[in-house]
Amino acid sequence: MGANVRWTTIGASAGGGLFLALSLYRSIASGGPSVSHLNPIGVMTVIGITVGALVGPMVGAIVARRRGQ
């Protein structure tokens, strides 16, 4: 697996996980049932995966440059 694919996967996982956690937290904090908020949670998770997949290779390049590779 190439470095770009690896960093894309890491970024998508981290971004999706972060946005999912924040969406779930906001859903629980609103006091309503989480089932009624499934669509916004799903949309925010997809946005997080997309942003993470786009930013991941850039972060990987910065890390590789700082390591001198």
Confidence at residue 28, expressed as pLDDT on a 0 to 100 scale: 86
Instruction: Domain ranges for the chain, please list them.
Output: 3-67
Give residue-wise pLDDT tens across range 8-56. Answer: 999 999 999 999 999 988 888 888 776 778 888 899 999 999 999 999 9
Cα separation, 30 vs 24, whole angstroms: 10
The answer to whether the pTM exceeds 0.95 is no
Helical (H) or strand (E) element with 33: none
Residue, of 36 and 59, whose pLDDT is higher: 59
Indicate the pLDDT class of residue 69, thresholds 50, 70 and 90. Answer: low
